[in-house]
């Protein structure tokens, strides 16, 4: 595969960015404003698809800063991430329209503009050809998502925003340190499949420090414990934000950057030679189990999903840390599979909130009668995250388990399987309560299997009789369709994964890294 | 014709049947589903041995259909049972969704048995667990909680199997069956996983808890597949046997039968008999001889038929009288004659009375154990036979023979119910009358085995007589005992444990958060910041950062 100098990678980043002024300009005409968002999403997806189809690897040089060449390069890993993010941006844009209009949210213009900005930064992260470019877009992503986290403007939202910025910008500082160290050690920060040759021969202690800085910095957005605190807090954001950004774009930027570090900067071999692969794997495995356990106690649906995200990101991080070909393949598949399944779950949480006003699992007793299709989609996506066959999660997790079995420490197979079991324990009460729970007239007692009771708003009695709506009439089509599309995507990825471009892209990553 | 058929795995017929059941009227849907599922039998009897349908949907070589001496009788049996089960569901008033879930479950069972590689098996195995859960779940009410525990048990078992298969793949480099399963840790893990489905003593609590709860037709469906697929997989995993497996089988025989004797709910009693009868198969696989394997598969075949029939009988009683406890039944022999006759056939078959299928298959399994295992194990099996006779004497006496304690109203039955009962009863008799034709279907059955030798007859009749006499003597004390099982301790412990661990982790997390908040607060107060200025400082800093980055990018683009 040869490199082709082209503008396409830059266009992919620029299209969502150009949408920002257009969105602001048409702030008085909501329909036109949303048209810009949808157009930009379509154009971004189209450009990425062009890049996927095009022969050769497209590169857009961005000039150089202080002797470091900056560039955007659409290689297999970047394309996989960009394709995922742009596909789901399109779906989420439709969903967002339904969500913010149903709730009559304030500051919708700022919301859509920030959304476009976040996607532009994500595309930059995906296509960054070197650590410095990656760092710049990684930081821009933090800035672009900040207005979305504090969107509600409440005290809680502002506090969550402060936590978010403190964690992620703090991580950014560590990343910058790591980038400088790598530059000093090897004289380059440009990604190379299988790692930079200079690092294998560099001073091992300094190399380890560089790895630690980069991993700790990117680990913040990957939400590896104990750097995860910002993610459950950030759930105060509107649900589409939690869906696209805090289950796909932002957190996946973290784990994607982690993958770049392990596979394209240090390389699988050097990572394990330096002895830093195992600690990272252990941290990921511990996170996976702890997040599963803590998740059991969450009665707030979105918080529970956030802990589930923390656990699932560690599935990917563990696969990358183990760095066997099958594990890496599984990690990239899981990046995609988890995105489709988790965004479905967030969409559903949003539909439940819009249609019933409920946020707590124990208040959702019987909601399956009111939202049958939506909650069925929830059940399918949840089954996928547990790892049942015929849904995307099975395929990716099976590769991860196989990769772990072939790794130096096969014990990590147990971590994956324990993680799956905890997922079943977490998701079951939710599905159970939704379909079989019977609201009781008395408040106070928790109907959640593991979580303690929460303070209810006292408005519970009116929901004693949730009624079955007409088919397809349970919510606005703007929200129902995205739920069906992503849930259908998750099932399709579980039935015929090889038919999607993600499969070949992940395979290309493996052959790029392992030769 | 055969070539065309070979391209379509039999379980496709189950998918089509689901569509028919959901789309057509109840009567038409049932008829189509009976025909489609029944087609499995001729498909398997005519399909040539060998593997077909190699695919690679997940990037690994998989074989969807493999026909060999193990799969042929089991899958054909499943097809026959599935067809009758659909008819029985129709007769007992199962709704279309229940029938659809049953078909999905039975189709998964067929897919599991026909799979030619471990990955396909794993997928079918998990689907079997999911569909069974949904099938129980669908009934609602009391069945919902047990369905959750069912799912947890089977996911744990499936988890062990996934780990085992992954380690096997690393060693063997392929999922395809040829060449056996990797020894050592993979086999141990796999047996532990399969053990959950088999109902190993200690891992069995899901079985008697789940099977009596749902609709009677669902009980019949469930009784036929999960444990039998597991026996089949056990034979694939450890065709050379294992001492642990053999003794565990012996323990299952004794434990299951002891618990069964103490039960008064009909379907619960039958559920414990599944554990004990599967124990016979596990012992026979465990001894690891060709005769043992043949005995296990013959007993599996006989068992699926008579145990399905027993569940059908119990279900017919539940549907027609509204009672499920033996304590409130009685005198049904005259009021439900067809049910009574079919009960007799099934009870004599499971007890192993000469002339019925169980006598032949249990005889072969016991013989294999006698010649290849310690004598004590053989005595376990004999004791199991006595207990079986005892508990079916109890079932028959309370349900059919004695006078009802209070007047019972018996609803009329549909002809379909009668047909289903009689059709399933036929092979239990035929297999007993024509033992050579029956055993001929199983590879490895020794030609020297004479089921109707005088010694075999004496043993069988002695065990049966001992059981009946035992019941007559122990009738009084048995009625006063209240059985306890491990689940009464195990399940509350597991729930409390999970909650406590989660609560502990949350508390630890809270403490850590509080400590870090305190620390940052102190650092903040050192520089004299208050929250409001902190926020505006933050905003200013972010704006500056954004502006700088933008400027840098612009510079870079220009340069």
The helix/strand/coil state of A366 is coil
- Residue A460 pLDDT exceeds 90: no
Q: What share of chain B is helix, strand, coil (3-state, %, to 5)?
A: 75, 5, 20
Q: What angle do CA B72, B75, B80 make, to 5 degrees?
A: 120
Contact between A430 and A368 (Cβ < 8 Å): no
List of residues 6+ apart from A408 with CB closer than 8 A: A272, A278, A322
Smallest CA–CA distance, residue B503 to chain A, in Å, is 7
Contact between B330 and B398 (Cβ < 8 Å): yes
Q: Give me the residues of B, 268-327, that contact A with CB < 8 A.
A: none
Query: How far, CA to CA in Å, does A376 sit from each of A259, A380, A494, B469?
Result: 34, 6, 17, 55
**Which residues of chain A make contact with B505, given a CB cutoff of 8 A?**
290, 293-294, 297
List of residues 6+ apart from B550 with CB closer than 8 A: none
- Return left, alpha or beta for B266; rule: phi > 0 is left, psi -120 to 50 is alpha, else beta: alpha
- Residue A444 is predicted with a pLDDT of 43
- Residue B308 pLDDT exceeds 50: yes
Task: Check residues A66 and A8 and name the one with the higher pLDDT.
Answer: A8
pLDDT digits (tens, 9 = 90+) for B95-137: 889 999 999 999 999 999 999 889 999 999 999 998 998 899 8
Which helix (H) or strand (E) is B485 found in, with range? none
Q: Give B367-378 as a DSSP string.
A: HHHHHHS-HHHH
Work out the average pLDDT over A328-356.
92
List of residues 6+ apart from B17 with CB closer than 8 A: B32, B33, B36, B37, B86, B103
Task: Say yes or no for a CB contact (<8 Å) between B534 and A64.
Answer: no
Count of beta carbons in the 10 Å neighbourhood of residue B368: 27
Task: Say yes or no for a CB contact (<8 Å) between B170 and A410.
Answer: yes
Task: Say yes or no for a CB contact (<8 Å) between B163 and A413.
Answer: yes
Task: Say yes or no for a CB contact (<8 Å) between A424 and B151.
Answer: yes
- Residue B251 is predicted with a pLDDT of 93
Nearest chain B residue to A419 by CA distance is B159
Nearest chain B residue to A404 by CA distance is B166
Q: What does the DSSP 8-state code read for residue A458?
A: S
pTM of the full predicted structure? 0.88
**Which residues of chain A make contact with B533, given a CB cutoff of 8 A?**
none
- Return left, alpha or beta for A275; rule: phi > 0 is left, psi -120 to 50 is alpha, else beta: left
Which residue, B347, B287, B278, B279, is CA-closest to B311? B347
pLDDT digits (tens, 9 = 90+) for B262-300: 888 899 999 999 999 999 999 999 998 888 899 999 999
What percent of chain A lies above the pLDDT cut of 70?
A: 94
Q: What does the DSSP 8-state code read for residue A71?
A: E
Task: Say yes or no for a CB contact (<8 Å) between A389 and B126.
Answer: yes
Q: What whole-number distance in Å separates Cα of residue B294 and Cα of residue B73?
A: 11
B195 phi, psi to nearest 5 deg: -60, -30
Q: What whole-number distance in Å separates Cα of residue A285 and Cα of residue A314?
A: 7
HEC string for B45-78: HHCCCEEEEEECCCCCCEEEEEECCCHHHHHHHH
B502 close contact with A: CB closer than 8 A = yes
- Residue B348 pLDDT exceeds 90: yes
Q: What whole-number distance in Å separates Cα of residue B44 and Cα of residue B370?
A: 33
Task: Check residues B539 and A153 and name the one with the higher pLDDT.
Answer: A153
Q: What whole-number distance in Å separates Cα of residue A438 and Cα of residue B144?
A: 13
B438 phi, psi to nearest 5 deg: -65, -55
Work out the average pLDDT over A267-296.
90
B172 close contact with A: CB closer than 8 A = no
pLDDT digits (tens, 9 = 90+) for A201-258: 888 888 999 999 999 999 988 888 888 888 888 888 888 888 888 888 889 999 999 9
Question: Best residue in B139, B509, B523, B547 to probe A by mutation, most A CBs within 10 Å?
Answer: B509
Nearest chain B residue to A225 by CA distance is B509
Smallest CA–CA distance, residue B286 to chain A, in Å, is 27
- Residue B521 pLDDT exceeds 80: no
- Residue B537 is predicted with a pLDDT of 60
Smallest CA–CA distance, residue B553 to chain A, in Å, is 8
pLDDT digits (tens, 9 = 90+) for B428-449: 999 989 988 888 888 877 778 8
Which residue, B312, B298, B373, B364, is CA-closest to B341? B312
The helix/strand/coil state of A64 is strand
- Helices A325-356, A250-259: axis angle to 10 degrees equals 170
Contact between A172 and A139 (Cβ < 8 Å): yes
- Residue A443 is predicted with a pLDDT of 47
B170 phi, psi to nearest 5 deg: -60, -40
Q: What share of chain A is helix, strand, coil (3-state, %, to 5)?
A: 75, 5, 20
- Residue B511 pLDDT exceeds 90: no
Question: Best residue in B495, B505, B519, B530 to probe A by mutation, most A CBs within 10 Å?
Answer: B505
Question: Best residue in B59, B142, B153 to probe A by mutation, most A CBs within 10 Å?
Answer: B59
CB burial of residue A214 (10 Å; 0-12, 13-18, 19+): buried
- Residue B556 is predicted with a pLDDT of 57
- Residue B418 pLDDT exceeds 80: yes
- Residue B316 is predicted with a pLDDT of 92
Task: Say yes or no for a CB contact (<8 Å) between B123 and A390.
Answer: yes
- Residue A341 pLDDT exceeds 90: yes
Q: Give B501-523 as a DSSP string.
A: HHHHHHHHHHHHHHHHHHHHHHH
Out of A152-161, A263-272, A450-459, which region has the weakest mean confidence (pLDDT)?
A: A450-459
ipTM of model: 0.83
- Exposed e or buried b per residue across B288-327, where buried means at least 16 C-beta atoms within 10 angstroms of its C-beta: bbebbbbbbbbbbbbbbbbbbbbbbbbbbbbbbbebbebe
Compute the mean pLDDT over every residue in chain A, rounded to the nearest whole number. 86
Contact between A48 and A86 (Cβ < 8 Å): yes
- Residue A463 pLDDT exceeds 60: no
> Which of A65, A297, A410 lies nearest to residue B552, judging by beta carbons?
A65
Task: Say yes or no for a CB contact (<8 Å) between B59 and A498.
Answer: yes
- Residue A107 is predicted with a pLDDT of 82
Nearest chain A residue to B517 by CA distance is A163
Compute the mean pLDDT over every residue in chain B, rounded to the nearest whole number. 86
Task: Say yes or no for a CB contact (<8 Å) between B498 and A389.
Answer: no
Count of beta carbons in the 10 Å neighbourhood of residue B536: 9
Q: What whole-number distance in Å separates Cα of residue B480 and Cα of residue B474?
A: 10
- Residue B94 pLDDT exceeds 90: no
Task: Check residues B165 and A237 and name the one with the higher pLDDT.
Answer: B165
How distant is the alpha carbon of residue A302 from its chain centre? Answer: 14
Q: What does chain A come to in residues?
A: 515
Contact between B357 and B432 (Cβ < 8 Å): yes
Task: Check residues A210 and B486 and name the one with the higher pLDDT.
Answer: A210
Work out the average pLDDT over A300-321.
91
Work out the average pLDDT over A38-57.
91
Task: Say yes or no for a CB contact (<8 Å) between B130 and A388.
Answer: yes
B163 close contact with A: CB closer than 8 A = yes
């Amino acid at each position: 595969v040869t490199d082709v100098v082209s503008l396409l990678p830059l266009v992919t980043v620029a299209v969502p960015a150009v949408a920002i002024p257009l969105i602001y300009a048409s702030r008085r005409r909501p329909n036109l404003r949303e048209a810009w968002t949808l157009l930009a999403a379509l154009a971004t997806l189209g450009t990425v698809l062009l890049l996927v189809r095009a022969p050769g690897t497209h590169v857009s040089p961005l000039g150089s800063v202080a002797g470091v060449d900056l560039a955007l390069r659409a290689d297999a890993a970047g394309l996989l991430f960009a394709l995922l993010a742009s596909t789901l941006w399109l779906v989420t844009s439709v969903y967002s329209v339904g969500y913010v209009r149903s709730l009559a949210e304030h500051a919708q213009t700022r919301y859509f503009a920030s959304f476009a900005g976040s996607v532009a930064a994500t595309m930059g992260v995906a296509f960054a050809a070197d650590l410095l470019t990656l760092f710049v877009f990684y930081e821009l992503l933090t800035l672009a998502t900040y207005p979305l986290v504090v969107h509600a403007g409440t005290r809680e939202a502002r506090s969550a925003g402060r936590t978010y910025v403190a964690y992620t910008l703090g991580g950014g500082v560590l990343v910058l340190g790591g980038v400088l160290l790598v530059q000093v050690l090897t004289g380059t920060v440009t990604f190379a499949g299988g790692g930079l040759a200079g690092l294998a021969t560099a001073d091992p202690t300094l190399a380890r420090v560089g790895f630690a800085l980069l991993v700790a910095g990117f680990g913040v957005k990957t939400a590896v414990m104990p750097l995860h605190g910002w993610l459950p807090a950030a759930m105060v954001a509107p649900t589409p934000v939690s869906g696209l950004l805090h289950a796909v774009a932002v957190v996946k930027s973290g784990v994607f950057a982690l993958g770049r570090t392990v596979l394209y900067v240090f390389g699988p071999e050097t990572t394990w030679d330096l002895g830093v692969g195992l600690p990272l794997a252990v941290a990921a495995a511990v996170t996976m189990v702890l997040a599963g356990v803590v998740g059991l106690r969450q009665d707030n649906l979105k918080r529970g999903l956030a802990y589930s995200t923390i656990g699932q990101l560690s599935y990917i991080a563990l696969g990358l840390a183990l760095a066997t070909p099958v594990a890496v393949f599984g990690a990239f598949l899981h990046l995609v599979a988890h995105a489709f399944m988790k965004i479905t779950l967030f969409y559903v949480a949003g539909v439940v909130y819009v249609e019933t006003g409920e946020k707590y699992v124990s208040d959702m007793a019987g909601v399956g009668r009111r939202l049958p299709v939506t909650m069925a989609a929830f059940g399918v996506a949840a089954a996928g995250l547990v790892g049942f066959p015929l849904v995307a999660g099975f395929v990716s997790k099976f590769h991860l388990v196989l990769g772990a079995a072939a790794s130096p420490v096969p014990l990590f197979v147990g971590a994956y399987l324990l993680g799956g079991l905890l997922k079943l324990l977490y998701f079951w009460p939710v599905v159970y309560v939704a379909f079989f729970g019977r609201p009781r007239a008395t408040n106070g007692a928790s109907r959640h299997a593991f979580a303690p009771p929460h303070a209810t708003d006292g408005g519970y009695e009116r929901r004693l009789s949730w009624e079955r709506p007409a088919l397809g009439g349970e919510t606005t089509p703007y929200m129902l369709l995205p739920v069906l599309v992503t849930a259908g995507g998750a099932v399709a990825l579980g039935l015929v994964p090889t038919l999607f471009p993600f499969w070949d892209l992940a395979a290309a990553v493996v052959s790029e890294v392992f030769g | 014709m055969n070539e065309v058929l070979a391209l379509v795995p039999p379980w496709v017929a189950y998918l089509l049947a689901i569509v028919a059941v959901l789309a057509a009227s109840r009567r038409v849907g049932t008829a189509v589903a009976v025909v489609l599922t029944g087609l499995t039998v001729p498909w398997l009897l005519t399909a040539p041995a060998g593997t077909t349908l190699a695919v690679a949907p997940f990037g690994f070589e998989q074989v969807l259909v493999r026909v060999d001496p193990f799969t042929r009788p089991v899958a054909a049996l499943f097809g026959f049972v599935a067809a009758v089960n659909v008819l029985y569901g129709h007769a007992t008033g199962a709704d279309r969704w229940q029938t659809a879930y049953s078909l999905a479950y039975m189709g998964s069972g067929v897919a599991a048995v026909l799979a030619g590689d471990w990955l396909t098996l794993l997928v079918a195995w998990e689907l079997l667990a999911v569909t069974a859960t949904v099938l129980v779940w669908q009934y609602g009410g009391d069945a919902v909680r047990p369905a959750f525990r069912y799912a947890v048990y089977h996911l744990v078992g499936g988890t062990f199997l996934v780990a085992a298969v992954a380690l096997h793949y690393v060693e063997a480099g392929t999922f395809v069956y040829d060449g056996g399963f990797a020894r050592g840790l993979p086999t141990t893990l796999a047996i532990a996983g399969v053990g959950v489905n088999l109902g190993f003593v200690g891992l069995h609590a899901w079985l008697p808890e789940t099977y009596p709860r749902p609709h009677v037709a669902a009980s019949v469906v469930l009784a036929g597949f999960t444990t039998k697929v597991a026996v089949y997989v056990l034979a694939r995993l450890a065709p050379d046997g294992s001492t642990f497996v053999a003794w565990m089988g012996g323990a299952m025989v004794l434990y299951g039968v002891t618990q069964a004797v103490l039960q008064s709910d009909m379907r619960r009693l039958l559920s414990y008999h599944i554990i004990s009868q599967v124990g016979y198969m596990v012992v026979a696989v465990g001894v690891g001889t060709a005769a043992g394997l043949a005995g296990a598969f013959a007993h599996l075949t006989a068992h699926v038929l008579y145990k399905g029939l027993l569940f059908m009988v119990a279900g017919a009683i539940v549907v027609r009288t509204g009672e499920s406890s033996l304590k409130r039944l009685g005198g049904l022999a005259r009021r439900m004659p067809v049910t009574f006759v079919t009960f007799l056939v099934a009870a004599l078959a499971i007890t192993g009375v000469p002339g019925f299928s169980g006598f032949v298959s249990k005889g072969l399994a016991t013989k294999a154990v006698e010649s290849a295992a310690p004598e004590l194990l053989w005595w376990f099996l004999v004791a199991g036979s006595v207990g079986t006779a005892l508990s079916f004497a109890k079932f028959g006496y309370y349900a059919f023979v004695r006078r009802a304690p209070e007047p019972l109203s018996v609803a009329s039955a549909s002809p379909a119910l009668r047909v289903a009962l009689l059709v399933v009863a036929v092979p239990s008799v035929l297999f007993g009358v024509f033992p050579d034709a029956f055993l001929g279907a199983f590879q490895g059955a020794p030609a020297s085995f004479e089921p109707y030798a005088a010694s075999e007859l004496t043993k069988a009749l002695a065990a049966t007589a001992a059981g009946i006499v035992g019941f007559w003597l122990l009738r009084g004390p048995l009625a006063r005992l209240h059985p306890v099982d491990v689940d009464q301790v195990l399940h509350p412990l597991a729930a409390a444990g999970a909650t406590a661990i989660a609560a502990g982790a949350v508390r630890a997390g809270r403490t850590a958060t509080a400590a870090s908040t305190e620390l940052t607060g102190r650092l903040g107060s050192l520089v004299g910041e208050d929250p409001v200025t902190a926020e505006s400082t933050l905003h200013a800093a972010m704006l500056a950062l954004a502006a700088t980055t933008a400027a840098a990018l612009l510079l870079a683009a220009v340069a």
